[in-house]
Structure 1
């Protein structure tokens, strides 16, 4: 039982570590949360997680590695992702203005705008080279049978902690914990943003503006990376 809990916990840590860093996915989740409510932000997170689930299946089948063998195909995917990020950055910039209007946000589940974040995050995640790279490296390692001594890698005290937390890779518990960690993030992150937005009236336009900047920056970065491959 202890080993099972350790494996689940390690998987959850991996999941949160993948989902938490700032980037285009969290920019969309943040924008959707503060402009349209918690449900919209959660659905945006589900979009990104759904793409990870697809990558998980493709990695298990070896398809992700196959795609990486064709640089031009990968560059085309990155370029498409760059254009989409610039387009969504424009939408986020428009939300900066609309979020100043009373009642502009839409936390009502019946509002059709609540579901748009899922589609945006899903499409972007499928063309995100960082997620593809994750599943080519760490993700593939999670699927292969073996073990990893988590605390042995701790700086300075790793030797003393070696063997304390050894988890099995390739186990269903690790994968379940991994996606459980992502669920924790896409549930808590939008809730924290919505709570902050309710306390600070100007929070929504600020987050929408920062989301536009992040998306535009990553969009230009992806386009430059794609162009560098073709030129």
Structure 2
């Protein structure tokens, strides 16, 4: 059985560096606080690791869908149609407010993790639908995402002040290579595995953490929802 010829197009050290760069980029994409991580945190705290991981998969599948649409050039309609973009912003804002209401319900009604663990797949639906209605996620794949598809290379350490010249050529990432994209989604997978585990571990040490996380998630989602609706009008 022969390895994929695309992966053979780079020497092993260059391929490893490119995949590592993709992992770092995927972690940087997934880790910042935002609506997706609010949903993952709430699901993890209230329903356990598997529910949080499933919610992360929903956001990841949405990213994969946007990547494929960007590859096909389909999502450019969002960039070229301001009305469509505003409608998506407004829809996303309303969804965030709706999910914020659900988080508040979880926080007030929560008596135990088992009492709310019946539907672990709902986090997937929430994160997936919310991601699909997020025009900023679409625009990311239209800009940065498309740049990742163009063949080329990025010397990651060269622009660093003072030490950049000494580090030139040490960490070169090849764009337009499947190894970079595999690393990127691998980095996202690492985050959606580790972040829920961290929340669950903290919950096991702090008895009342679950409702606190639910309240904080609701507040974060409500804040983003108001911002989105403000931007839409």
For normalisation by structure 2, the TM-score amounts to: 0.92
Gaps of at least 5 residues in structure 2 are: 1-11
Match of 1:69 among 64, 67, 80: 80
Aligned match of 2:58: 47
- Measure, in 1, the Cα distance between the counterparts of 2:29 and 2:161: 21
2:29 paired with 1:23: no
Q: Which runs of 4+ in 1 moved over 4 A?
A: none
2:30 paired with 1:14: no
Structure 1 counterpart SS, 2:161: coil
Q: Superposition RMSD on alpha carbons, in Å?
A: 1.2
- The correspondence of residues 29-178 of structure 1 with structure 2, limited to 5 A, is 29-101=40-112, 103-106=114-117, 111=118, 113-178=119-184
Match of 1:220 among 205, 214, 226: 226
Q: CA deviation at 1:219?
A: 0.5
Q: CA deviation at 1:153?
A: 2.5
Contact kept? 2:107, 2:212, Cα under 8 Å:
yes
Contact kept? 2:46, 2:113, Cα under 8 Å:
no
Contact kept? 1:64, 1:132, Cα under 8 Å:
yes
Aligned match of 1:180: 186
- Measure, in 2, the Cα distance between the counterparts of 1:214 and 1:48: 17
- Measure, in 1, the Cα distance between the counterparts of 2:208 and 2:78: 44
Q: Number of residues paired by the alignment?
A: 222
- Measure, in 1, the Cα distance between the counterparts of 2:183 and 2:93: 31
Q: 1:102 to 1:66 in 2, by over 3 A?
A: closer
- The correspondence of residues 190-205 of structure 1 with structure 2, limited to 5 A, is 190-205=196-211
Structure 1 counterpart SS, 2:158: helix
Q: Relative to structure 2, which stretch is displaced further, 175-184 or 145-154?
A: 145-154
